[in-house]
């Protein structure tokens, strides 16, 4: 059943995937099996995206399927030990109010086992600092869609440095306007302009790949 779930999920057969997951989750140890299989499927979808076989349309559909399945799976996992790869504070930087890219990344990052603390959009520099102090993440993810976000990321990283927190964390930037040049300009550790690459590099920064 796990193999069928994996196949239908990766093939984007939503109805079939949800149907199998509903059956599997009711079996002994089924909830853990559903979770693990869906994570594996999301990872494969990400791989296909990076290989150029899948597109954002498939990432969004996969995220939607994942959320649908988790809605009835997570309540059955209470009390189970669910391994986390690490914690990430994630937000769209000050001045930018876009959320679509951030939200696509968030679903995929959570599916990969990263504990994501989403601090929203148009996040003031200081709020990143406060969130780092509060949640003690290994990773910080900053997103922007518009060009204004580039200098906002730079300023946010400066403020994190001034607070003496830069050495405790790795920073990945993401969004439509980021590149290697922008990463060097703002002083981040990695960059991604799509969610699949973002999750892969986040795992690398966490030392998990």
Partner 1 sequence: MVSPEMQKLAEERAARMKAANELKEPDRVPFSGLGGDIIAAYAGISSYEYNFDFEKNRQAIIKWNTDFPADSPQGGVGGLDNLSLSVAFVDFPDLANSIFMLNGPMNDVLDMKFARFPGRQLDEYSSPQFIGGKNMEPEEYDELIADPQKFAYEKILPRISNNLQDMSSPKALATMARLGMVKAQQAAELMKTGQALAELGFPSGGGFGFGFAPLDYIGDHLRDLPNVVLDIRKYPDKVKAATRSILEVLFKLAMQNQHADTIMFPLHLNEYLSPKLYNEFYWPTLKEFILRLAENGKKSSLFCEGWHDPHLETFLELPAGWGRAMFEKTDVRKAKKILQGHTVIQGGIDVGVVISGTPAKIDEYMKALLGDMMPGGGYICGPNVGNLPRETPIENVAAVYEAIEKYGKY
Q: Can you give the binding site for partner 1, defined by CB under 8 A?
A: 12, 14, 52, 54-58, 60-61, 64, 94-100, 103-104, 122, 146-148, 150-151, 176-179, 181-182, 184-185, 193
Query: With respect to partner 1, which residue has the nearer C-beta, 10 or 33?
Result: 10
Where do we find the tokens 């869609």?
A: 145
| Least distance CB 64 / partner 1 (angstroms) | 6
Query: With respect to partner 1, which residue has the nearer C-beta, 61 or 74?
Result: 61
Query: With respect to partner 1, which residue has the nearer C-beta, 30 or 197?
Result: 197
DSSP 137: -
- If 0-12 CB within 10 Å is exposed, 13-18 middle and 19+ buried, where does residue 51 land? exposed
**Three-state DSSP class for residue 28:** coil
**Three-state DSSP class for residue 123:** strand
Which tokens is 170 given?
A: 């790795």
Query: With respect to partner 1, which residue has the nearer C-beta, 11 or 209?
Result: 11
| Least distance CB 128 / partner 1 (angstroms) | 16
| Least distance CB 103 / partner 1 (angstroms) | 8
| Least distance CB 148 / partner 1 (angstroms) | 5
H-run or E-run covering 41: helix 30-50
Instruction: Count CA atoms within 13 Å of residue 52 on its CB side.
Output: 0
Query: With respect to partner 1, which residue has the nearer C-beta, 33 or 192?
Result: 192
Query: With respect to partner 1, which residue has the nearer C-beta, 33 or 159?
Result: 159
| Least distance CB 100 / partner 1 (angstroms) | 6
| Least distance CB 131 / partner 1 (angstroms) | 20
Query: Which residues, in sequence order, are CB contacts of 170 under 8 Å at separation 6+?
Result: 138, 139, 140, 189, 190, 205, 206
Neighbour count for residue 99 (Cβ, 10 Å): 17
H-run or E-run covering 195: helix 195-205
CA distance 72 to 77: 10
């Amino acid at each position: 059943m796990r193999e069928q779930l994996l196949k239908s999920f990766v093939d984007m057969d939503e109805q079939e995937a949800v149907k199998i997951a509903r059956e599997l989750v009711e079996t002994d140890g089924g909830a853990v099996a559903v979770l693990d299989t869906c994570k594996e499927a999301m990872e494969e979808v990400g791989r296909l995206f990076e290989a150029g076989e899948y597109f954002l349309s498939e990432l969004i559909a996969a995220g939607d399927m994942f959320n649908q399945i988790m809605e009835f799976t997570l309540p059955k996992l209470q009390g189970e030990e669910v391994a986390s790869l690490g914690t990430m504070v994630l937000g769209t930087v000050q001045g930018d109010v876009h959320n679509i890219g951030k939200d696509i990344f968030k679903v995929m990052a959570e599916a990969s086992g990263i504990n994501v603390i989403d601090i929203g959009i148009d996040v003031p520099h200081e709020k990143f600092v406060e969130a780092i102090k509060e949640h003690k993440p290994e990773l910080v993810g900053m997103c922007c869609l518009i060009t204004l976000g580039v200098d906002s990321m730079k300023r946010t990283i400066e403020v994190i440095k001034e607070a003496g927190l830069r050495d405790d964390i790795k920073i990945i930037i993401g969004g439509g306007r980021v590149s290697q040049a922008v990463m060097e300009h703002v002083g981040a550790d990695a960059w991604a302009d799509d969610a699949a690459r973002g999750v892969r590099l986040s795992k690398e920064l966490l030392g998990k790949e």
